[in-house]
């Protein structure tokens, strides 16, 4: 999806917070003040969005994962839908402290969730006491709510896409500590220096969140398509090389083969 100036304007991406709530470090991205509200420079948003989507495309093309993080109410459904569509990890309920910096412990919880799934499929589960079954079921639901979005994550993500970096400050701090690149929507009350690829935008309005998230998701999809195309081309090239090598081998064998009659004639000449 190619995002244009009018799309950003229609989605209300330019509406910031009250001027008294602003972060001075957002000054380069602010166009003007109107009725006590800061307005974001949409031209800057377009440039930053382009840089962010290029980075996302490059990361995904190398076969790595990008984690979506958005726990605010108006962003949950959008992020969940796009992340599931792309089979990317996501966190939309609550960020657990140490989800990145203590990933080994998180993996243990994921294994526990997997073990509960296996148990619930077995006949022995039905033979358990009702209270015990209820306890296990509730624990599974809790784990699903907190970790369901990262159930297939076997290693740390290559980057984070964060909808509201101020609200998700713990996730941002953990990513910074581990050197994981962050692509983040930054409103006028945020510090853009905390992320690697800031996208100045309204991070409260549904339409604004949808537009930016969709643009990032589409860039991920493009990166995945490019990777698949490169792999297919590489496989085709390898098959052609193998066939060419086989053909050359057969030609060499044909050159080495000498008719038996010629060998007999050569032996008769030697004896004479």
Centre a 10 Å sphere on the Cβ of residue 164 and count the other Cβ atoms it contains: 23
pLDDT score at 11 = 95
pLDDT score at 259 = 57
C-alpha pair distances (Å), 170 with each of 14, 185, 228: 26, 15, 34
Query: Regarding beta strands 66-69 and 90-91, do their DSSP bridges make them parallel or antiparallel, or are they unpaired?
Result: parallel
Domain regions of the chain by residue span: 1-90+158-231, 101-155, 232-271
More reliable by pLDDT, 199 or 228: 199
Assigned CATH topology for domain 101-155:
Helix Hairpins (1.10.287)
Length of the chain: 272
Of 52-66, 86-100, 103-117, 244-258, which range is least confident? 244-258
**pLDDT higher than 70, residue 255:** no
The pTM score is 0.83
Q: Is 242 exposed, middle or buried (0-12, 13-18, 19+ CB in 10 A)?
A: exposed
C-alpha pair distances (Å), 80 with each of 70, 75, 203, 246: 9, 8, 16, 50
pLDDT tens by residue, 151-210: 989 899 999 999 999 999 999 999 999 999 999 999 999 999 999 999 999 999 999 999
CATH class of 1-90+158-231: alpha beta
Torsion angle of C-alpha atoms 168, 173, 174, 178, degrees rounded to 10: 140
pLDDT tens by residue, 63-83: 999 999 999 999 999 999 999
For residues 228 and 88, give the distance between their C-alpha atoms in angstroms, rounded to a whole number: 16
Q: Name, in order, each residue with C-beta under 8 angstroms of 50's C-beta and a sequence gap of 6 or more.
A: none
């Amino acid at each position: 999806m190619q995002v244009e100036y009018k799309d950003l304007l229609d989605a209300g991406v330019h509406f910031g917070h009250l001027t008294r709530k602003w972060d001075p470090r957002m000054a380069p991205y602010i166009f003007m003040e109107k009725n006590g509200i800061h307005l974001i420079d949409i031209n800057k948003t377009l440039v930053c969005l382009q840089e962010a989507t290029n980075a996302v495309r490059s990361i995904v093309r190398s076969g790595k994962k990008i984690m979506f993080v958005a726990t605010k109410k108006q962003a949950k459904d959008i992020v969940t839908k796009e992340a599931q569509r792309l089979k990317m990890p996501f966190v939309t309920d609550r960020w657990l402290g140490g989800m990145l910096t203590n990933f080994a412990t998180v993996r243990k919880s994921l294994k526990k969730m997997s073990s509960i799934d296996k148990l619930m499929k077995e006949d022995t589960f039905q033979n358990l006491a009702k209270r015990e079954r209820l306890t296990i079921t509730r624990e599974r639901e809790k784990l699903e709510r907190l970790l369901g979005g990262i159930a297939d994550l076997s290693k740390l993500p290559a980057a984070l896409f964060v909808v509201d970096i101020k609200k998700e400050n713990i996730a941002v701090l953990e990513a910074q500590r581990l050197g994981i690149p962050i692509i983040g929507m930054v409103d006028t009350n945020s510090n853009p220096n905390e992320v690697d690829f800031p996208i100045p935008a309204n991070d409260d309005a549904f339409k604004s969140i949808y537009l930016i998230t969709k643009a990032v998701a589409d860039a991920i999809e493009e990166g995945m398509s490019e990777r698949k195309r490169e792999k297919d081309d590489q496989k085709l090239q390898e098959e052609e090389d193998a066939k060419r090598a086989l053909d050359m081998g057969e030609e060499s064998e044909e050159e080495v083969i000498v008719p038996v009659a010629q060998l007999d004639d050569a032996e008769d000449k030697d004896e004479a």
